[in-house]
């Protein structure tokens, strides 16, 4: 097992080293790529810590979609294209006051984490025993899903609301972003898309369904389906138009709405909100997760697009 110990030490050292290297880089593009690789290393770390749920979320969101979102943002900052040099300089000279405030806030967050760690009771069993006791009432067999969608469903509802709030803000603010430029995605991409897109759709549905008994669930499935939508946007197979707004709004809201309606319905039936009747718990959880998956996928795609769909002029469409 000494080899495995060496592996763990090497992995831990490279995670910390890459984090430091990412912060010290001057080039924004290099930072983004390093951050993507950092996500992969983190996922391997979570896998070694026997936390496959976190590893799955990390690869889906950290290594997958965050990279695409960050690249898109950088392209906007550089005036519409990653390679264009005419846009505003991204690496503006760092302002001393801003750096000071950032350092202060980061320091406070670190202190708070340290205090929370030191203040936590040491060497006592966690909540695993309580979760294990309550599993038969949860309707699912995977403890993480039972916690997220049943025991602490209120927190999860609030997480879905956060995504909804994010997309509302993005749609409100007109930042003068250029329409998605027409990419020159040729035959190589077409071949990739023909294989990858159907597999990704199936994988998304699979992750949603498997969430009841194994790592998976709405957030991971939503991220995979959101990636499908991002590929559609990039290749302009999907062109957001004003006519899509009502459909998109419905997709953004459906997860939060169904989640809240289920809670209200359960509360109306003489129980505490989110205290699902054990017989219907699995159905309700899968219903909520399916709707939340739609919302997450639509929201991530809309965040990638970066603005409310607007009418585009004829020549821009034909470009």
Residues in touch with another protein (CB under 8 A): 1, 3-4, 6-7, 10-11, 14, 18, 21, 25, 27, 29-30, 33-34, 36-37, 40-41, 43-44, 47-48, 50, 52-53, 55-56, 59-60, 63-65, 67-68, 71-72, 75, 80-84, 181-185, 189, 192, 196, 199-200, 203, 207, 210, 214-216, 220, 223-224, 227, 230-231, 234-235, 319
Identify which of residues 73 and 249 has a Cβ nearer to another protein in the complex: 73
Do 163 and 296 meet the contact criterion of CB atoms below 8 Å apart? yes
Residue nearer to another protein on the CB measure, 57 or 285: 57
Query: How many angstroms separate the CA atoms of 308 and 241, rounded?
Result: 9
Instruction: Give the nearer residue to another protein in terms of CB position, either 208 or 263.
Output: 208
Q: Which is nearer to another protein, 8 or 137 (CB)?
A: 8
Q: Compute the least distance from the CB of residue 95 to another protein, in Å.
A: 26
CB of 80 to another protein, least distance (A): 6
Instruction: State the minimum distance, in angstroms, from the CB of residue 171 to another protein.
Output: 21
| Nearest-approach distance from CB 162 to another protein, in angstroms | 22
CB of 183 to another protein, least distance (A): 3
HSE at residue 149, side-chain half, CA atoms within 13 A, is 37
**From the CB of 274, what's the least distance to another protein, in Å?**
26
Nearer to another protein, 90 or 111 (CB): 90
Q: Which is nearer to another protein, 30 or 105 (CB)?
A: 30
And the tokens for 175? 């930042």
The residue (of 59 and 163) whose beta carbon lies closer to another protein is: 59
Closest distance between another protein and the C-beta of residue 68, in Å?
4
């Amino acid at each position: 097992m000494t080899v495995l110990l060496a592996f763990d030490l090497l992995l831990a050292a490279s995670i910390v080293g890459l984090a430091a290297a990412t912060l010290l880089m001057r080039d924004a593009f290099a930072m983004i790529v390093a951050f993507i690789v950092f996500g992969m290393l983190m996922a391997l770390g979570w896998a070694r810590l026997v936390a496959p749920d976190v590893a799955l979320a990390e690869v889906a969101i950290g290594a997958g979609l965050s990279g695409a979102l960050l690249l898109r943002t950088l392209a906007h900052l550089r005036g519409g294209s990653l390679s264009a040099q005419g846009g505003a300089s991204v690496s503006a000279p760092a302002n001393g006051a801003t750096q000071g405030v950032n350092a202060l806030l980061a320091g406070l967050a670190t202190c708070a984490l340290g205090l929370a760690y030191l203040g936590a009771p040491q060497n006592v069993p966690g909540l695993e025993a309580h979760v294990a006791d309550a599993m038969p009432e949860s309707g699912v067999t995977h403890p993480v899903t039972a916690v997220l969608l049943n025991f602490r469903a209120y927190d999860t509802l609030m997480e879905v609301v956060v995504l909804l709030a994010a997309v509302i803000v993005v749609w409100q603010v007109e930042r003068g972003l250029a329409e998605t430029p027409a990419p020159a995605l040729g035959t190589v991409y077409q071949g990739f898309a023909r294989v990858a897109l159907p597999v990704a759709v199936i994988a998304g549905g699979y992750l949603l369904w498997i969430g009841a008994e194994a790592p998976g669930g709405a957030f991971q499935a939503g991220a995979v389906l959101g990636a499908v939508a991002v590929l559609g946007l990039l290749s302009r197979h999907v062109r957001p138009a004003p006519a899509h707004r009502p459909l998109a709004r419905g997709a953004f809201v459906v997860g939060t709405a169904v989640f809240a309606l289920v809670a209200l319905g359960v509360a109306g039936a003489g129980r505490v909100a989110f205290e699902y009747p054990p017989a219907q718990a699995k159905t309700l959880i899968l219903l909520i997760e399916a709707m939340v998956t739609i919302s997450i996928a639509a929201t991530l795609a809309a965040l990638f697009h970066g603005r409310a769909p607007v009418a585009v002029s004829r020549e821009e469409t034909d470009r």
